[in-house]
Amino acid sequence: MTSQLLITGILGIATTAVAFYINRHLFTTGNAAGRVSLLEGTYYLVGVVSIVLGWYFNVRYTHTYHNANYWNYTKMLFTNWAADSAAQDYVIVNVVLMPLWTIVEGSRRGLKWAWIFFVMSLFTSLAFSIAIFLAFMERQWRYNKALAQQPPAETPPAPAPAAAPSNTA
């Protein structure tokens, strides 16, 4: 294991943990979102598979090339016309669309720190971060739906206004 892989792994785990911690209201026992749904579970499964595959290839990359770093990794994405096509898609999705999508949609639905999913993608993988974001969005949707169906809490009656002082003597 190289120091680069160790640091990236720690940052990947940390950003994932932060996402769960900041949005812990979605995961506490007895919360409005309920248990993991089939769709949410599918997102988690896809995320785990993608992170395992991604790490397999990243470990091989860092052990094959002595100058393994983000700059060289990105340059190696653009090695032929077919790779160029896929690479430009990947870069645009990860660097432009992912932050816009997660920040705008996550915030609209009530996710806290929605930007953390973009940061997570820099240390885990794009597919993992999108899968976890979608799982959180599914959970947040169910949470919001359950809260909207709850009857409003009774509010106590407003206190009677104080009597105005009289000017009669």
Q: Per-residue pLDDT for the chain (169 aa), expressed as one digit of tens each?
A: 788 899 999 999 999 999 999 999 999 877 888 899 999 999 999 999 999 999 999 999 999 988 888 889 989 999 999 999 999 999 999 999 999 999 999 999 999 999 999 999 999 999 999 999 999 999 999 999 988 887 776 666 667 676 666 666 5
Q: What torsion do the CA atoms of 153, 110, 37, 115 make, to the nearest 10 degrees?
A: -160
How many domains are contained in the chain? 1
| DSSP-based three-state secondary structure for 162 | coil
pTM comes to 0.84
Residue 157: inside a domain, yes or no?
A: no
CA 17 – CA 8 distance, rounded (Å): 14
Residue 153: inside a domain, yes or no?
A: no
Q: What torsion do the CA atoms of 33, 39, 45, 47 make, to the nearest 10 degrees?
A: -80
Residue 27: inside a domain, yes or no?
A: yes
Residue 84: inside a domain, yes or no?
A: yes
In the prediction, which pLDDT does 89 show?
96
Select from 134, 135, 131, 136 the least CA-distant residue to 49: 131
Residue 92: inside a domain, yes or no?
A: yes
Token pair belonging to 130: 């999108």
Residue 40: inside a domain, yes or no?
A: yes
Residue 163: inside a domain, yes or no?
A: no
- 81 lies in which domain range? 3-146
